[in-house]
C-alpha cells in the first residue's frame, strides 16, 4: 500500500510540474496579449511599429516608435500592466539614427526610459518636454517606482503643469508620487488631486 501511494505521489508531482510549466508559458502569452492590447488602444502609441515579447514576466519592447512621447508611453503602459515584473526598452524613435537612438539592445532594463525622459538629446528647444512627453515620462516613473506600485494615478499635463488625480493608499504614496512628478524634466508645477483611500 505505501508503495502505491508513493507511485501516485510521483505521478501527481510530475503532472503538477507540467501544469506549472504550461501556466508560466500561458501567463507570458497572456501578458504579451495584454500589453499589445494596451498599446493598440493608446492614441499616443497605436500607429507605432512595436513588437512585444514576454519571458518570465519580463516584457521586451522592440521596433520603432513614431516619436519620443510614443516610446515613453509604450514603456509606461507595459510597466503598468498587471503581472509584468520588468520592461526592457529596445525601441528606437522614427527618424533617429540607430547609433543615436536610446534604448539599444544591451541597455540595462528600466534605464532607457528614464534617460530619454530627462535628457531629450538631439531635439530642438521646446521639443521633448511638451505636455504629452511630460505626461508619458511621469507615468513611466510612477509605474517603475516600488513605493507606489499598483496605485491608480491619473496624470494630466497642461503647459508644463502636471495634475495627479486618483486614490493612493497612504500619505507616503502621495508624497512619493508628488516628488516623482516634481523631479521630472519639463515640469513647472504639480497640482495634487490625490486622495488617500484607507
Digitized pLDDT (tens) for each residue of the chain, 198 residues in all? 555 555 565 565 555 554 544 455 558 888 888 888 888 888 878 767 888 888 888 888 888 888 888 888 888 888 888 888 888 888 888 876 544 434 433 333 343 333 333 333 333 344 445 888 888 888 888 888 877 866 788 888 898 899 988 888 888 888 888 898 888 888 899 998 888 886
- Give the number of C-alpha atoms closer than 13 A to the C-alpha of residue 174, restricted to the C-beta side: 15
Residue 92: CB atoms within 10 A of its CB come to: 20
Task: Give me the helices (H) in 51-170, please.
Answer: 68-79, 111-118, 131-144
Partners of residue 191 on adjacent β-strands = 163
pTM of the model: 0.42
pLDDT of residue 76: 85
Q: Are 169 and 151 in contact (CB under 8 A)?
A: yes
Q: In the chain, where does DSSP find H-type helix?
A: 2-41, 68-79, 111-118, 131-144, 171-182
Phi, psi for 178 (deg, rounded to 5): -65, -40
Q: Residues of 39-53 as b/e, b for ≥16 C-beta within 10 angstroms?
A: beebebbeebebebe
> Is residue 87 a contact partner of residue 109, using CB atoms and an 8 Å limit?
yes
Give pLDDT, residue 107: 38
pLDDT at 40: 81
How far from each other are the two terminal CA atoms of the chain, in whole angstroms? 54
Amino acid at each position: 500500500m505505501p508503495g502505491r501511494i508513493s507511485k501516485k505521489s510521483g505521478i501527481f508531482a510530475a503532472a503538477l510540474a507540467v501544469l506549472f510549466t504550461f501556466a508560466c508559458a500561458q501567463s507570458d502569452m497572456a501578458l504579451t496579449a495584454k500589453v499589445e492590447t494596451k498599446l493598440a488602444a493608446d492614441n499616443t502609441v497605436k500607429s507605432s511599429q512595436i513588437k512585444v515579447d514576454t519571458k518570465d514576466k519580463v516584457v521586451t519592447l522592440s521596433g520603432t516608435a513614431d516619436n519620443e512621447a510614443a516610446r515613453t508611453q509604450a514603456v509606461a503602459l507595459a510597466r503598468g500592466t498587471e503581472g509584468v515584473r520588468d520592461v526592457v526598452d529596445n525601441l528606437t524613435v522614427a527618424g533617429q539614427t540607430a547609433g543615436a537612438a536610446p534604448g539599444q539592445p544591451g541597455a540595462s532594463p528600466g534605464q532607457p526610459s528614464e534617460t530619454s525622459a530627462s535628457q531629450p538629446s538631439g531635439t530642438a528647444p521646446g521639443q521633448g518636454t511638451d505636455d504629452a512627453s511630460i505626461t508619458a515620462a511621469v507615468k513611466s516613473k510612477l509605474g517603475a517606482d516600488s513605493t507606489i506600485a499598483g496605485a491608480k494615478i491619473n496624470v494630466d499635463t497642461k503647459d508644463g503643469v502636471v495634475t495627479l488625480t486618483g486614490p493612493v493608499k497612504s500619505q507616503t504614496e502621495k508624497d512619493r508620487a508628488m516628488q516623482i512628478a516634481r523631479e521630472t524634466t519639463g515640469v513647472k508645477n504639480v497640482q495634487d488631486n490625490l486622495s488617500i483611500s484607507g
